[in-house]
Chains A and B, each alone.
Chain A
C-alpha cells in the first residue's frame, strides 16, 4: 500500500523559512517522480514543484521560483521542500504526491497523495 506522510508545517513569520518532509512507503521510491501541491484557504489546488526519480531534474511554479527548493533522499525514501522568504500568500495545506510520468509530459498525473501539512505565514 502506497503511503505518503507529510510533516514540518507550522506557523512562521513573513520572510521566514520552513522545511517540509514527506515520508514515502509502499513503492520503489527512486522509480517515481514526486511533487508538492498546495491548497490555500478559499482557493483551489495549485501545483508547486516536481522532481524526477533521480532528483536530477526539478520544476517549479513561477510564484515560488528562487524561494523554494525541492529535493529527495532516495536512500531514506524522503521528499523535502525547503521554503525560504515565505509570504502570506504561501499559507496553505501542502500535499506530497507520487507522480506517474507519461510520454511528453513531466507530470502525467498525481497518482497518490498524502493528507497534507498546514503552513501558516503570519504578517
Chain B
C-alpha cells in the first residue's frame, strides 16, 4: 500500500479542467517538496512538477502544482486527448528515509 494516497482514476472532457489530489503525512509531503510525474505505457516517465509548483522547461503552463499541509494537488487545464496517462505524486519521507510515490491516477479524457 502506497504511503501517498491518490484517486485511482479521474476523467473529464477535452478542454475542461481536472484536479488530482495526493494525500500524505507530516514526514513526507508535510516536510518535503512534492513532485509529479506523467507516465504513458511504453515510454519514459516525465517530470511535470518539482518543488511543489515549479515546471521544468518544456512543460506547458496547463499543468500546475500546489501544496497545502500534508496534501498536494496537480491541476490540468485545457485537457487534450494527449494528456491521457497515469499521473504519480512523490516525495521523500524523512522519518523512514525512503522515497514514496502515490498509487497513481489514470486520467481519461472523454
Contacts and interface: CB of A to CB of B under 8 A. Distances in A.
A44 B45 contact: no
B54 to A, nearest CB: 10
B50 A113 contact: no
Interface residues of B, number: 29
Nearest to B105: A44
Choose among B92, B97, B104 the residue with the greatest number of A CB atoms under 10 Å from its CB: B92
B56 interface: yes
B94 A105 contact: yes
A115 interface: yes
B99 A113 contact: no
A114 B51 CA distance: 21
A105 B32 contact: yes
Interface in A91-123: 95, 97, 100, 102, 104-116
Q: Which 3 pairs from chain A and chain B are nearest by CB? A: A105-B92, A109-B35, A47-B99
Interface of A: 4, 35, 37, 39, 44-47, 50, 59, 61-62, 95, 97, 100, 102, 104-116
